[in-house]
Amino acid sequence: MVDVNHALRSGPPAAVVDRDFHSGGAATDSVAELRASLGGAMDSGDPTMSMADRLCRACVDLLDVDGAAVSLMLDGSSQGTFGSSDGLSRQLDEFQFTFGEGPCMDAVREGPVFAANIADGAEIRWPAFVGSAVGLGVGAVFALPISLANSNVGALDLYRHAPGPLLGNSLLGGLMAADLAALPLLDMISAEAELATLGEDEPAWKQLASLARVEVYQATGMVMVQLGVGPAEALARLRAHAFAQGLTASQVAWSIVERELSLESDTERTDPGGRHS
């Protein structure tokens, strides 16, 4: 479980959480109502959306944020986006994988991250990520770790277009949502155990495996063969090309996999969709 007291100490020192706190507070003014609304969105929200997506949408509806995403991490590396409120949230998560830096990764390693103004030039922790995020109109980012079996396995990433801290009930609601974000993972584990008992061949856990950026690993292997380099250098070359072209690693990877791009030539040029110009 997320330690609320620790998170409050790590976050804005003046944050006060109660039903009468309005500056930067959540849309609902009752902590109990906020908890019920977040839980209700997961349990009985839009049936066409995944539980994780419904939670992220609820964060946007109830908290003082413009977007949310659930990022999964394994051994310090981003494994995929488990849920999101919109396309921009997914793109911000993809940037973190592409650049190997960002608030999600720091949250998993070190605890809650609060970057209230990434556009003022003072944020130096993630220069590549910040440059791309600011270019998309993002002014503030926050990341709250998601814990499962006493280990941080991902983070709830929140963003806002306008700079400013995450305060009051919005902060508390974010911490509640980070706790709730572990539930879809637990559901998959439980479903897998039940299917294994029944002898089924398609465990639910494959949903998690499918989040891995398979196209990136396939493209990395192709670059290794093309350039005669090891996996670390091949992935570094792929990421460097993505950074130089203003693309995500997945966009470049798909172009390589579809044989529309080769990193053998330094004169390769791609358009914003990762295609040849």
Q: In what order do the strands lie in the sheet with 67-74?
A: 77-84, 67-74, 151-160, 140-148, 113-115
Q: Which two tokens stand for residue 234?
A: 């091949």
Do 151 and 136 form a contact (C-beta atoms < 8 A)?
no
Residue 277 has pLDDT above 50, yes or no: no
Residue 90 has, within 13 A of its CA and on its CB side, a CA count of 14
Q: What is the pLDDT of residues 77-111, one digit of tens each?
A: 666 788 899 999 999 998 988 888 999 999 999 99
How many percent of the chain have pLDDT more than 90?
Answer: 33
Q: Per-domain residue ranges for the chain?
A: 4-189, 213-277
Structure tokens at 88: 């921009």
Give the domain 4-189 fold: Beta-Lactamase (3.30.450)
What confidence score (pLDDT) does residue 213 get?
Answer: 60
In this prediction, residues 189-213 reach a mean pLDDT of 48
Model confidence band, residue 199 (pLDDT cutoffs 50, 70, 90):
low
Give the model's pLDDT for residue 76. 66
Q: How far apart are CA 176 and CA 240, in angstroms?
A: 37
Q: Which amino acid is it at 102?
A: G
pLDDT at 63 over 90: yes
Residue in the block written with tokens 């650049």 = 99
pLDDT at 214: 64
Look over the chain and give the mean of its residue pLDDT values, rounded to a whole number.
76
Q: Which residue has the higher pLDDT, 227 or 29?
A: 227
Q: For position 188, what pLDDT does the model report?
A: 52
Per-residue model confidence (pLDDT) at position 82: 82
Per-residue pLDDT, 183: 80
- Residue 12's pLDDT is what? 38
* Residue-wise pLDDT tens digits, 15-45: 334 433 444 444 445 778 888 888 888 777 6
- Under the banding of pLDDT at 50, 70 and 90, the label for residue 4 is very low
| Alpha-carbon torsion angle 121, 126, 132, 134, nearest 10 | -40
- Phi, psi angles (nearest 5°) of residue 82: -80, -25
Q: Over the stretch 108-128, which tens digit does the pLDDT of each residue have?
A: 999 999 999 999 989 999 999
Average pLDDT over residues 58-87: 86
- Comparison of pLDDT for 274 and 73, the residue scoring more: 73
223-239 mean pLDDT: 81
pLDDT tens digits for range 128-183? 999 999 999 999 999 999 987 678 888 999 999 999 999 998 999 999 999 988 88
Predicted local confidence at residue 23, as pLDDT: 42
Q: Which residues contact 215 (CB under 8 A, 6 or more apart)?
A: 250, 253, 254, 257
Q: What is the mean pLDDT of residues 41-57?
A: 82
